Amino acid sequence: GDSVTQMEGPVTLSEEAFLTINCTYTATGYPSLFWYVQYPGEGLQLLLKATKADDKGSNKGFEATYRKETTSFHLEKGSVQVSDSAVYFCALSDQGYDKVIFGPGTSLSVIP
Amino acid sequence: EAQVTQNPRYLITVTGKKLTVTCSQNMNHEYMSWYRQDPGLGLRQIYYSMNVEVTDKGDVPEGYKVSRKEKRNFPLILESPSPNQTSLYFCATWTGGTGELFFGEGSRLTVL
């Protein structure tokens, strides 16, 4: 079945460092891909998405490109801030199925 | 403002004492879902509902019940809670396909 794998962390970075969180997926169809973020004490919220191959999703300085050839959707940010400390979830939804499948989440801590 | 509201946010109970976690949405979405979040396991779907009176099992439905009598409400029922149901629970609505999941703020349940 469909699945999502991501680096679990925790990841600790200094402010202004470059961030990459790896995400790879397995799907039988042509999924849409998402990154959700969970700030401390809150529910998840959509960070960015891409719906077809080579699409780039971007928001709040974060970017991820849908790579069909490597089945990947890595999250990147050029300069992280303390306020980016959160748990990040990679996810997919396959149009053949009525559900969203999540990876295990990656905890990010950014220190001043 | 688009909202998914869960209650209670925090609950400590004892084994076997029936409880209900309520979920209400104001976005008129047909799809609603319950997830549990556990360390190292990410988000796992418990039950989902495609519309009123239509519910189906997710990945971890054992020990839970749901009902969907109205479009806006989707309560999660634990008939006889056990300690392994101690978890953080999220209700979510979904527009489907390439759309976005909207999450409530979560309900932290402890079963002693």
pLDDT digits (tens, 9 = 90+) for A99-108: 788 999 999 9
Residues in chain A: 112
What's the pLDDT at A95?
67
CB pair distance less than 8 Å for B105 and A93: no
Which among B50, B101, B104 has CB closest to A100? B101
CB pair distance less than 8 Å for A51 and B98: yes
What beta strand segments (E) does chain A contain? 3-6, 11-14, 19-21, 23-26, 32-38, 44-50, 56-59, 62-65, 75-77, 86-93, 100-102, 106-111
Chain B residues with CB inside 8 Å of A33's CB?
none
Indicate whether A96 pLDDT > 90: no
CB pair distance less than 8 Å for A102 and B43: yes
What's the pLDDT at A16?
97
Average pLDDT value for residue range A54-67: 97
What's the pLDDT at A9?
83
Q: What percent of chain B has pLDDT over 90?
A: 83
Indicate whether B97 pLDDT > 80: no
